[in-house]
Chains A and B, each alone.
Chain A
Amino acid sequence: MGRIALLPDEVAHKIAAGEVIERPASVVKELVENAIDAQASRIEIEITSGGIEYIRVQDNGEGIAPDDVKMAFQPHATSKISKTEDLFSLSSLGFRGEALPSIASVSKLTLTTRTAAEKSGVRAVVEGESIHTEPCGAPQGTTIEVRQLFYNVPARYKFLKSPATEGRRVLELVTDMAAAHPHIAFTLVRDGKTVLSTQGSGSLRDTLLLIHGKKLISELLSIESTYPWAKVTGYAGTPKLARGSRTGQLIIMNGRVIQNSTIRAAAERAYQGLLPSRVYPFFVLVLDVDPKFVDCNVHPAKSEVRFADDQTVFRDVLDAVRTAVLSKNIAPKFEVRQQFEARQRESQPVQFYKPQPKQAEITWEPRTWDTLDEVLRQYRPSAAKPKPPLAVAETPPRDDRETSAADTGAASTDAHAAETGIIADDNDVRSALKNGRIVGQLHQTYILLEVQGGGLWILDQHIVHERILYEQLVKEFTSRQVHIQQILPEVLELSAAEYARIQEHLEEIRAVGIELEPFGVNAFIVRGVPTFLSQTGGWKGDILEIAEAAEKGGHFLQAAAVTLACKGAVKAGDYLDTRAIKALLLDLAKTENPFTCPHGRPIIVRLEHQEILRRFGRA
């Protein structure tokens, strides 16, 4: 007898189930997608012990006609598509006809359903191969109950995590799906407690607020852009919502939550310069893509998609998110009030930090990076104002975000600044730094300063010091005061790409005091480095960093100074006594830009007197 035989159906089903059904969350996903495809407007999910014991998904959708009930449990039986061509213009979430039979083959499943046309419903109890149906009373829609998941697949049962973990996965999944379908009211009941409930109002914003809390309200920037291949909507969070992981990111495409590295990278790129490294922005992107441009049938769980043209997707998503991010001033808030500015121009000068009667937001609406650069530049002292006595004039500092400042030059900056009239009187800031009373150190990280005229300023000590060192270094670099330690020739072996990049920017790298000579294939000889680097090692990294900065058309000297300043500055957690703080503040007052660190983070957070009054209800 031959040794190759067809697998019994039962075994084949379990194998197929293995691909789609891994854990309770995958059961919930399949069932909820079915409910959505059935045009439900209300979906209620209930789980006990993480869904391992019991899962119920109830919808008010179309329901299944009595004659179709048995058919629904046949593999590859579906009402969603009927011919191959349909695969390429999918509009439903499911289409493979695998979900129900797969779930049924690994659990004890009960299905109750009634269509609008029928008077009474049908209940089907499936256990193993047998399907037992009987008429019964039921509301319109479909209810599926899944008990004892994997009771007949011990291998998979063993790989389930604790009920708490499995329950969390279900919760995360339902949360994402609720955001993906704001027009459907979702309810999730976990062990008898309602843990999530959305209204199905159709508004993504309302749904997000229900999910993440009301505090989100002022931190969401609306995204709305249309491109030939898709319409991109959703919300971008301000940098305040950014966190150390990507948990705040959600990409929804044609009603399905997807993972896609191109889209994610594009959205994150939009925040470049606004967030420190390893901090990830919050965003919810909703893409309505013409099915022609995307292939959804890449993965059985359908969580991955493939685009016909990744580059266009990247470019357009970047554009869409960037436009949103720049639509509001989300740079460090500088409490300049327009009303006050107007008054100041007309009449006698008023103390800058005096409590203002009424607060008004700055109302510019920059739409491009250039505009943002302009806005940032206005935080700077400019020639239109009297020069602060101690400021150094030769080398205007340039942030990495301010690359275009170099081209426009100081004159146009001043013109623009005068035009908009939004100039911080930085002399006042400087005198506040010099004359304020140091309250102390908070968490050995922040300096608390009581400012004359009222208000509390909080300064990040690391960033304060970083700014001071940065300006010193830039000055040293530009005046060529850097000494070069000659070293025993060291061969730097590189990849071809690294070599090309360094070769291209050799002059810039030499200008910072690193002496390099090409040496054979893909290698350089290092013959000298600035004395402050000579003992630290790791020059390869430094050199590449400088080359990269030069590549971006940026200011490599500044880029090098940024790196070095960060290394040399006092750290968060260092104890500073009052005299040290005083010295830092005096030095900061002498810097050209006491407002942001070279990376673009704010140095000073201000709690204005007015704000304190308001909070205590005294205003």
Chain B
Amino acid sequence: MHFQIDSTALTEGVRLVERAVSTSSTLQILSGIQLQVDRNRLTLTANNLEISVKTETECTTIAPGTAILDGKLFSALVRKLPAGPVIFEKRDNQVIITAGTTEFTLNELLGDEFPAPPICDQKIMSLTDYELSKLAHSTLFCVSSDDQRPILQGVLFEISDGELKVVATDSNRLAYAKAEVPFLTTDTMEVIVPGKNINELLRCLPMDETLIDVYYGENQLAFRFNDTVFTTRLIDGKFPNYRPVLYTEQEITIVMNRQHLLHAIERAALFDRKGTQPVIIQVTDGVLELGMQTELGRSVEQFNVEHTGGNGKSAYSPRFILDMLKATDADQVMFKFEPGPRQALIRPAEHNNHLYILMPIRI
């Protein structure tokens, strides 16, 4: 293996794949980054069996070949290289990296074969990085951190009725976002993607209106964009049926400015140091009253709101309300609720593409 590459291109490639470098050392080869050189292409691959990232970039090849280098060391070195051409040459089990007057010799990671990225060849859809990012950000905050319920640690990607629906829940609340995806190549699909892997994916997206092709393989989902393939493991199992939760009619509906509500709840939440106290929401004839009382003191705020349905009050975790208000950019939000144990709904007033279900706190 012998090639030359521009340091900027190399740094960008390494930035993408280093997310998939394993940090636990059960299988040493997984802590490596694989370099493959053929005719004028350098392919970088990392795979921690949770996610795998493979990216290609142009290079000037003198002799093709492969090498596996310690991922942590290699990515840290590359990031610190001076701008300009970098020359790689493999001799025996060592790779010599030369950039200007700087020279490093890295020992190859030897041992097991580097695991190939999973094969995903069934095309599902294409959507832009912006669309994907928006759907993910609308729901990811609801992903559960409970190790004992792995399914809730994932995000549901569902294709049905010509739409992509993304759902996450931690059983206190549930977020649902949908979008019409222009290039759907399948009618129905339901997969659960680990929430933290989606987070890694979001960090890899170029965010310049790039079209992302999504492929399905056995228990894997692959996202292809530009010269990069990001593959994630899927969570096995059945996501809870969210539809009955989503479509219930609550008795009371209010519509108000999102920023006003956000700030008011933030103020009330200041009183809740333990994170266990509810904010009490009461609507009486077009007036919304937000109340909070803890051992630190109490706060009361009133707003005029658009109000339909009856009067009533209920209580919710202020943090849960804030999560949703921060996840949407709508000017006006709709809040539907009723007294008793039934769930409340928060959504942008203008459309129903982003729904948030919130369970009350009994006081």
Name A residues whose Cβ lies closer than 8 Å to a Cβ of B.
Answer: 483-488, 490, 527-528, 530-532, 534-538, 540-541
Residues of A within 8 A of B357 (CB): 488
**Cross-chain contact A485 with B317 (CB below 8 angstroms):** yes
Residues of B within 8 A of A531 (CB): 275-278, 317, 361
* Smallest beta-carbon distance A16→chain B, Å: 42
A486 in contact with B146 given A531-B317, A534-B172, A535-B170 (CB within 8 Å):
no
Residue of B nearest to A537 (CB): B146
**Cross-chain contact B278 with A483 (CB below 8 angstroms):** yes
**Cross-chain contact B317 with A488 (CB below 8 angstroms):** no
Residues of A within 8 A of B360 (CB): 486
Residues of A within 8 A of B145 (CB): 535, 537
Residues of B within 8 A of A486 (CB): 341, 343, 359-362
* Smallest beta-carbon distance B172→chain A, Å: 5
Does any Cβ of A come within 8 Å of B80's Cβ? Answer: no
Question: Within the assembled complex, what's the spacing in Å between the Cα atoms of A531 and B146?
Answer: 15
**Cross-chain contact A490 with B276 (CB below 8 angstroms):** no
* 5 shortest interchain CB distances as A-B pairs: A537-B146, A531-B276, A486-B359, A484-B362, A487-B171
Question: Within the assembled complex, what's the spacing in Å between the Cα atoms of A531 and B173?
Answer: 13
**Residue from A488, A530, A535, A541 within 8 A of B359 (CB atoms):** A488
Question: Within the assembled complex, what's the spacing in Å between the Cα atoms of A483 and B357?
Answer: 19
* Smallest beta-carbon distance B144→chain A, Å: 6
Residue of A nearest to B340 (CB): A486
* Smallest beta-carbon distance B175→chain A, Å: 12
Question: Within the assembled complex, what's the spacing in Å between the Cα atoms of A12 and B274?
Answer: 73
Question: Within the assembled complex, what's the spacing in Å between the Cα atoms of A537 and B143?
Answer: 12
Name B residues whose Cβ lies closer than 8 Å to a Cβ of A.
Answer: 144-149, 169-172, 174, 240, 245, 274-278, 315, 317, 341, 343, 357, 359-363
Count of A-B contacts with CB under 8 A? 63
**Cross-chain contact A540 with B148 (CB below 8 angstroms):** yes
**Cross-chain contact A535 with B362 (CB below 8 angstroms):** no
Question: Within the assembled complex, what's the spacing in Å between the Cα atoms of A487 and B174?
Answer: 10
Question: Within the assembled complex, what's the spacing in Å between the Cα atoms of A288 and B242?
Answer: 65
Residue of A nearest to B174 (CB): A488
Question: Within the assembled complex, what's the spacing in Å between the Cα atoms of A530 and B278?
Answer: 12
A488 in contact with B362 given A537-B144, A537-B147 (CB within 8 Å):
no
A483 in contact with B171 given A527-B341, A537-B147 (CB within 8 Å):
no
**Cross-chain contact A528 with B149 (CB below 8 angstroms):** no
Residue of A nearest to B149 (CB): A537
Question: Within the assembled complex, what's the spacing in Å between the Cα atoms of A283 and B315?
Answer: 56
**Residue from A483, A490, A535, A538 within 8 A of B277 (CB atoms):** A483
Residues of A within 8 A of B341 (CB): 486, 527-528
Residues of B within 8 A of A537 (CB): 144-149, 170
**Cross-chain contact B361 with A488 (CB below 8 angstroms):** no
**Residue from B144, B147, B343, B361 within 8 A of A483 (CB atoms):** B361
Residue of B nearest to A483 (CB): B361
Question: Within the assembled complex, what's the spacing in Å between the Cα atoms of A490 and B152?
Answer: 12
Residue of B nearest to A532 (CB): B276
**Cross-chain contact A488 with B146 (CB below 8 angstroms):** no
Residues of B within 8 A of A538 (CB): 146-148
- Not counting A483-B363, A528-B362, A532-B276, a sample of 10 additional A-B residue pairs whose C-beta atoms are within 8 angstroms of each other reads A484-B362, A485-B172, A485-B317, A486-B359, A486-B360, A488-B169, A488-B359, A528-B341, A531-B275, A531-B278
Question: Within the assembled complex, what's the spacing in Å between the Cα atoms of A293 and B234?
Answer: 58
Residues of A within 8 A of B277 (CB): 483, 531
**Cross-chain contact B359 with A487 (CB below 8 angstroms):** yes
* Smallest beta-carbon distance A258→chain B, Å: 38
Sample 15 A-B pairs with CB under 8 A, ordered by A number: A483-B361, A487-B359, A488-B171, A488-B343, A528-B362, A531-B275, A531-B276, A531-B278, A532-B276, A534-B172, A534-B317, A537-B144, A537-B147, A537-B148, A540-B148
Question: Within the assembled complex, what's the spacing in Å between the Cα atoms of A486 and B147?
Answer: 20
Question: Within the assembled complex, what's the spacing in Å between the Cα atoms of A79 and B148?
Answer: 61
* Smallest beta-carbon distance B223→chain A, Å: 29
Residue of B nearest to A476 (CB): B276
**Cross-chain contact B148 with A485 (CB below 8 angstroms):** no
Residues of B within 8 A of A488 (CB): 169, 171-172, 174, 240, 245, 343, 357, 359
* Smallest beta-carbon distance A53→chain B, Å: 37
Question: Within the assembled complex, what's the spacing in Å between the Cα atoms of A488 and B145?
Answer: 16
